[in-house]
């Protein structure tokens, strides 16, 4: 017996093709929007940055103080870790267990290998370079780089 108060609905089967045609473009649009958002939108900067500076009274400390003021205007806190200088800063930056984001290092005083106490070059070749003599393989490599 049918209830006369309830309307009767005729439910028919929906084919998979109709479902894909109906919801496929919507799903593609959602996927494209998520991809564009993740690819092009830059994440917010960190609220705290850890910086390794230099000894008290050094120029590294002066510059770190300037960076702290500039970053504070943008709402970023700069945590300053004093150090003995460039070599200690380089060691801290290369150590994956030490939590430091940025630091000052004087150019030309050391390589990353020197900071880790595992030099990549032999001492004879390094001494030769300091004296102004270049090995033939090094000069050939530099010439190749200069051509490009």
Q: Where are the alpha helices (DSSP H) in the chain?
A: 16-40, 59-73, 86-94, 112-115, 123-130, 136-147
Nearest 5 degrees, angle CA 61-CA 64-CA 69?
Answer: 130
* CB 114, CB 120: distance < 8 Å: no
Answer yes or no: are the C-beta atoms of 115 and 86 closer than 8 Å. Answer: no
Alpha-carbon gap, residue 72 to 31, rounded angstroms: 38
Question: What was the pLDDT predicted at 48?
Answer: 92
Place of tokens 């300053």: 80
Give which of 69, 109, 118, 74 is closest to 89, Cα–Cα. 109
CA-wise closest residue to 60 among 29, 106, 21, 95: 106
Query: Domain ranges in the chain?
Result: 48-134
Instruction: pLDDT tens for the chain, 148 residues: list them.
Output: 566 666 666 666 667 788 888 899 999 999 999 999 888 887 777 889 999 998 888 999 999 999 999 999 988 999 999 999 888 988 898 888 988 999 988 888 765 555 555 444 444 343 334 444 444 334 444 444 444 4
CB atoms near residue 144 (< 10 Å): 9
* pTM summary value: 0.48
Domain 48-134 grouped into CATH 2.40.128: no
Q: What pLDDT score was predicted for residue 96?
A: 87
pLDDT of residue 46: 84
């Amino acid at each position: 017996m049918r209830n006369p108060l309830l309307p009767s609905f005729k439910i028919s089967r929906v084919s998979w093709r109709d479902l894909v045609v109906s919801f496929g473009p919507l799903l593609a649009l959602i996927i494209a929007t998520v991809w564009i958002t993740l690819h092009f939108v830059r994440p917010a900067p960190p609220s705290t940055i850890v910086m390794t500076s230099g000894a008290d009274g050094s120029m590294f400390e002066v510059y770190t103080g300037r960076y702290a003021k500039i970053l504070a205007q943008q709402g970023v806190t700069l945590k300053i870790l004093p150090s003995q200088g460039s070599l200690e800063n380089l060691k801290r930056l290369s150590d994956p267990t030490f939590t430091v984001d940025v630091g000052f290092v004087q150019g030309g005083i050391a390589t990353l290998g020197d900071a880790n106490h595992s030099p990549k070059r032999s001492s004879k070749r390094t001494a030769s370079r300091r004296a102004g003599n270049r090995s033939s393989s090094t000069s050939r490599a530099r010439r190749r780089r200069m051509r490009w």
